[in-house]
Each structure stands twice: as C-alpha cells, then as structure tokens.
Amino acid sequence: MRSRMNKALAATALTLVTAVAVAGCSAGGDAAGDQELDLAPAVAGEIEAGALDGITLVYAGNGGITQEGQDEAIWQPFSEESGAIVEQDAFELTKLRAMVDSGNVDWNMVVSSSIEVERYCGELYEEIDTEKVDLSKVPDGTLAGDCMVPNIFYGYVVAYNADVYGDNAPQTAADFFDTEKFPGKRGVPVTPWMESPAVEFAMVANGADFDALTPEDFTAGLEAYSSLGSDLVPWTTGAQSQQQLESGEVDMALVWSGRGYGAANAGAPIVPMWGDWVVAVDGIAIPKGSANLDASFAAINYMLGADQQAASSELTSYAPVNVDAKPAVSEPLTDWLVSDHLDTGHTVSIDYWVENWDEFSAEWTDWVAGS
C-alpha cells in the first residue's frame, strides 16, 4: 500500500499512539509483558472471545481512507472480540530501522511493499508462522517471501478514455507503447519505488522471458518508455494521475487501479484494460524484535477473514485478500476490483528486484531525471 497510494496522507493519518507512551512503557508491550499464547488452530477471521485481554498492539499503516477503513472494518471488531487494544500509528521505514537497531520496537504490525519486506526479511521483519496464520484463502499471486501477508491488493492497470478510442481500444501492454495504432498521450509513473511494476509492465510488452530475466531486460523496459517521446506525460502522485485522466490531459495511463476507479467514479469516461495488468501487493509484516508475536499473528489471522475483507473492500475500494470474500459494491467499483481479473494479471518478479534493487534504483533515478 508502505501503501504507495496513501503515502501523502500519512501525515494526517489516524490519531497517533500516545496513551501507552504516556504510561511509560513500550507501545508494543502490555502490563503483563510479552505473552506466549495457547490459541486454537488458526482459521482465517476467527479469534477466541477475550483471548487477548490486556494486550495492546500497535498497527503502523499509511494513513488516509485505507487505514481508516481497515480500522473500522477489521481492528475495531478485532478489539471487541479478542479483548486486545489496537492503536494506530503512521509507518516510516527509517523509524522502523531505528527501533530495530535500538532494540526498542514500539510497533507490532506494519504495512510496507512486498519488495521492501522481502529485502529486509529476517533483518527488520519477523518470519510469518504459517501454523498461526491461515493463508489458505489468500488469492494466488499475492504471497511474496517469508515475512509478509497481503494487506492491500490492487494493481497497475491501463486506464483509457473510452470516448477517444471507442471500438479501437488497447488490449495489451504492447498496445500501450504503440502510438501509431493508438495515438494519444500516455500517463506514466515516474517516482521512486514505482520502478518495479512500471518497468515489469514494459518488459511484458517487450516479450521478456520472466523465467530468465537479466539486467538488460530492465534497461530495455526503460527504453520502451523513452520511445514514447513527447507522448509520455509523467505523474508523481496518485492524485495527479487521476486528475490527468479526468481532465483529458492523457488518453490512457498506467495507474493504480484505485485511481482509475476514482476517475470513473467522478464521471470521466475512463475504463480499465485488463490485459497484462500488474498485480500489486502491499504486505502486513511484524517488526523484528517486537513484543507479543502470538498476539500479532492472531491479529493478522483475523484480518484475513472473508467477512473482514469484504467489509474492508466496501470501505476502501481495494480488492479483498480472501477468495471467499463477497463485498457488496456497486458500479463503477465492480469494474475495477482486481480480484476478478487474476487470470490476466502479471505478478512482479520479487527475487529479481531484491537481487538487483540498488542497481535498478540508480538506473531508474537517472532515467527519471532525464525524462
């Protein structure tokens, strides 16, 4: 999600944790200390009544409607059923690193990108105990590595103007880069941390062999964007990408699915292209060295329930991370839920990015500066 879509709103996130700090103890702890719990076998969405009485957990998210919606749909009901107190805070990687390095970890659960969690798995994040978190209902393509569970499930999707293209609409990633057959301006993300889905989309268009990717595939992906020339219109925030679509500044754009939905919901003639979209997942993870691991596992397990995920989708517009969840949503949101289109989605090659992250980030930064 760090959830990229709401990073700009983190400063205005839900009320930050204060009560536990005032009490003079770690927010991730509790009056009885770190508790090993004897809970029933994990079933997604279930928790024994009162099983976590007296325990305080801190959830560091990314603010905005996503964190607010999840609090209402998931954490408040979890508190009522389990007896735990779930406080809200705003996630920052530098703050997490400082906590872990100092051995004073105040957070119990955090939201970050799947690549970032995998990069620091075992260093900044604990491994997920799959005996204590039921992953059986998690959608295919949303699990990455040993330290995260999917929390936000969305996509990088081409959104295009139906009035412009009519019956000659783009269908594939290659169409996005074909300005002769599909003339018009293209919205393209050009900020740090978006290189992985953006460039993999270009690699799909290039016909890359995803079983044997090389650094040259990354470079070729950048060259595909450069080939757009004056038709490339950069965007740096989700709000900007949505505004470009609504105003007609661009005719199609690679955007977060939630922003495409936002433009359509505002009345713009914007529709999604489900060919070759890129699956995007932000994960929930447990900081290395945080207290009450069993309680954190129980909370994450509860989050994955079908009812909880359906309620969260209804409040946030993001797809549920439980295949049995049936959110009650209306048009146009029904057209934008990525969970209905997994068969045409492309999953980012996590290991490839983790292994080459420093090199690719530098190359991406240089390309953005010159674009």
DSSP string, 327-352: ----TTGGGT-GGGGGGGEEE--HHH
Q: Where do the CATH 3.40.190.10 domains begin and end in the chain?
A: 4-152+282-316, 154-279+340-370
- How far is 218 from 166, CA to CA, in rounded Å? 33
Residue 367 pLDDT level (bands cut at 50, 70, 90)? very high
Quick check: 53 and 83 in contact, CB under 8 A? yes
pLDDT at 152 exceeding the cut of 60 = yes
Q: What pLDDT, on a 0 to 100 scale, did the predictor assign at position 333?
A: 92
In the CATH scheme, what is the homologous superfamily, with its name and number, of domain 4-152+282-316? Answer: Periplasmic binding protein-like II (3.40.190.10)
pLDDT at 31 exceeding the cut of 80 = no
- The neighbour count for residue 20, using CB atoms within 10 Å, is 18
pLDDT at 294 exceeding the cut of 60 = yes
What is the CATH code for 154-279+340-370?
Answer: 3.40.190.10
Tens digits of residue pLDDT in 262-279: 999 999 999 999 999 999
Tokens of 41: 């076998």
